[in-house]
Amino acid sequence: MTLHSTIDRVTDRIIARSEATRRPYLDRMEAARAKGPARAHLSCSGQAHAYAASGEDKDRLATTSAGNLGIVTTYNDMLSAHQPFERYPDLIRDAVRSAGGTAQVAGGVPAMCDGVTQGEAGMELSLFSRDVIALAASVALSHNTFDAAVYLGVCDKIVPGLVIAAQAFGHLPAVFLPAGPMESGLSNDEKAKVRQQFAAGEVGREALMAAEMAAYHGPGTCTFYGTANTNQMLMEFMGLHLPGASFVPPNGMLRDALTQEGAKRALALSALGNDYTPVASVLDEKAFVNGIVGLNATGGSTNLLIHLIAMARAGGIILDWEDFSDISDITPLLARVYPNGLADVNHFHAAGGLGYMIGELLKSGHLHPDTHTVAGQGLEHYTAEPKLKADGLVWEKGAGESLNEKILRPASDPFQPTGGLRRMAGSLGTACMKVSAVAPEHHIIEAPARVFADQNEVKAAFKAGELTEDVIVVVRFQGPKANGMPELHSLTPLLSILQGRGQKVALVTDGRMSGASGKVPAAIHVCPEAVDGGPIARVQDGDILRVDAVAGTLDVLADDLDSRPNATADLSAAHAGTGRELFAMFRNTVGAATTGATIFGG
């Protein structure tokens, strides 16, 4: 199938825009490759330090060059999605030894759970944790004794942070090893209903706790299609997972086989062999365009509108929200996974999953077929699915048709002809909106503004019965420079209640929303943010705002907006406690959401 003209045009635009930064990056990676790992050139003392705890691998490390694999792990017991990683280092070492190589845990990096910190002070460290992860992973690999690396990560900021670090060491091959989703429990829709009932005072905390525990009940990724599972999708569309690895459940024989094969594959791609495939070759402009297509075709998390930009910049590639919007305009929405539908990721995987979807998008000309991947040349590899047979792990032809068209549809008959994301621009600045879960009757909202300085003020107004009319809730001073740009997902239940009462309701904020948010229209990531003097800082209670996801506009209908003074806010309470005082440097140096909200030259 011929490549869609918009995909071709946007890719060329990105290549041209990135020319001044991409070429120097590739030159640096080539210089690092030519120099090679320092393992053989370390002093005897340095080598002794590096190998001292390697047990049976010590002699092999000191005397042979079969390849040494660095393991960067985000294992902890706080994240259900990351708990299965506890077993991975031993699995990886055994697999690599069988191939004649060695493996060492290069380092562990922090990984926080956004589910635990929603609505709490810790959420103000969440976005910054991505850049901390990148820094920590770089420290882990700085020993420069590795021929390739594997990255153990799944959740929200973790995969983007690891990708940023992987590109800093882009001369090395890298395979990302997931853990898989937890088994389906209480449906996400039922869980959301109980949350709304609790917010409305219809059920008590005991009922809420029972519902939450039934939904989040074991090891593995949360089963809704939020940021964590969007990350997993991207790693396949962009060629950093083994094909079909994303949504295989934890701790089973197939998952273990995929983990071990991924480790062996990483070493096979090193400069020591004949299939050298560094990260710098995998993550090119075409790979990022394929990722944006996947984001739109699945109705993925809005967080990736920030993360993909930051990830790309780490490799010298400059993305713009206009790229996302243009691709969204021509990408069919092929999946309905909660919050865009009732199914969870396990149902999606059973219906044909990513392999079927990639096959459909290749046939329709929406994906670059000729990308480098860890599975080999060409994205066609990712239409196959892994099977564990008596003689080992094999890949077989994937589903040729959807097994449930309520969840997954062909490109010729999509849920809607355009993707799930919109760029918004107007007198309030630039923003974005996830529209894949928003009913068409809510795509245009014009209503009076009610302005708040934080989410707790919104909750107090709701409890006091003040939000009884049509309203556009404006929550400002939530951008990266103000307080780290927290997710405001805890507002979703009460805003959903207002919408359910028949009120016109929308959210406008310079903060973020969770990847789990859906049916209430939300213009988020507003730039410039309030603390930078953006127009959102001049909105007043009662101003008529218009949020138009059809036209892609975001406006305040007031003639005197530019002449008003900027509002201010006392942010001191958000700058101390729960470690926030240690992140002043991040708040002072972070770039705008439009450039990835990163401290790395954003």
Q: Which residues are annotated as a binding site for [4Fe-4S] cluster?
A: 155, 222
Tell me whether the omega of the peptide bond preceding residue 528 falls within 30 degrees of 0, making it cis. Answer: yes
What is the spatial distance between Cα 356 and Cα 358, in angstroms, rounded to a whole number?
A: 6
CB 508 within 8 A of CB 526: yes
Q: In 3D, which of 299, 407, 411, 402 has the Cα closest to residue 356?
A: 402
Q: Are strands 471-475 and 444-452 parallel, antiparallel or unpaired?
A: parallel
Cβ burial of 196 (10 Å; 0-12, 13-18, 19+) is: middle
CB 432 within 8 A of CB 321: yes
Count how many Cα atoms sit within 13 Å of the Cα of residue 372 in the half-sphere of its side chain. Answer: 15
What is the spatial distance between Cα 549 and Cα 126, in angstroms, rounded to a whole number?
A: 28
Q: Which CA distances in Å does 108 have to 76, 161, 179, 355?
A: 9, 13, 16, 31
CB 97 within 8 A of CB 131: no
Contacts with 34 (C-beta within 8 Å, 6 or more apart), sequence order:
none
Which contiguous run of DSSP H or E holds residue 52? Answer: none
DSSP H helix total and E strand total for the chain:
21, 16
CB 81 within 8 A of CB 229: no
CB 266 within 8 A of CB 152: no
Q: Is the dihedral of CA 355, 359, 365, 368 positive or negative?
A: positive
Angle made by CA atoms 559, 562, 564, in degrees to the nearest 5: 95
**Six token digits for residue 520:** 């209430």
What is the spatial distance between Cα 294 and Cα 50, in angstroms, rounded to a whole number?
A: 41
CB 523 within 8 A of CB 497: no
Place of tokens 């190998």: 51
Contacts with 286 (C-beta within 8 Å, 6 or more apart), sequence order:
11, 368, 370, 371
CB 290 within 8 A of CB 10: no
What is the spatial distance between Cα 145 and Cα 70, in angstroms, rounded to a whole number?
A: 8
Q: In 3D, which of 375, 370, 448, 363 has the Cα closest to residue 410?
A: 363
Place of tokens 């005897």: 44
